[in-house]
Amino acid sequence: MSNIIPFDFHGHAVAFNGGGWINATQAAKQFGKLPNEWLRLPETIEYLKAMARTCGEIPYVKTSRARADRGGGTWIHPKLAVAFARWLSADFAVWCDVQIDTLLHGDIGIRQEYEGACRILDEREKLASAQGKGLATWRWQKPVLERRVEHLLEQLQLTLQLDVA
């Protein structure tokens, strides 16, 4: 899988690709489950057959033999992702639906910029706390970084029309 985009769900990374496919192996692991357990359920088999009748025969499940840290595992098509996520947890299903919608219809670039700006702000603050000499630099960098985070948050909220704070 290429263009893997990690998202954070309650402190756990959940990987999607740019097309909205979800790494089901990674997602299920945090709930103590395996994707093949879901794929064998009678309801899932019936759902897959209905999808095939409606949308035609397309690969809804792909398996990558790459290492787990390089995107290996079972990947599920966005049309199945929410049904799979619902099996894991209702909260996770709603969260997945929002992430997939963002990937397919929203501006993922601004979201990544926002998350990156937040990460840099946090890293620099920790560095400043750890190093006395970094405090002087931090004093000048902090307002600039905070303005960048605020600006990107405004852009993200306009794009997603969500309150992510």
What would the pLDDT profile of 111-137 be if each residue is shown by its tens digit? 677 777 778 888 888 887 777 777 778
Residue 44 shares a structural domain with residue 122 = no
Q: Of 67, 73, 83, nearest to 25 (Cα)?
A: 73
* Cut 0.75: pTM above it: no
Strand spans (E) along 1-78: 4-9, 12-17, 22-23, 61-64, 73-76
Q: Please give the Cα distance from 158 to 90 (Å, whole number).
A: 26
Whether residue 90 sits in one domain with residue 29: yes
Q: What is the pLDDT of residue 69?
A: 56
- In three-state secondary structure terms, 119 is helix
Q: Domain boundary residue among 88, 104, 120? A: 104
Of 64 and 33, the structure prediction assigns the larger pLDDT to 33
Confidence of residue 43 (pLDDT cuts 50, 70, 90): very high
Domain residues for the domain of 136 are: 109-160
User: Does the pLDDT of residue 70 top 70, yes or no?
Assistant: no
For 74-111, write each residue's pLDDT tens digit.
Answer: 999 988 999 999 999 999 999 988 888 877 776 667 66
Q: Are residues 34 and 86 in the same domain?
A: yes
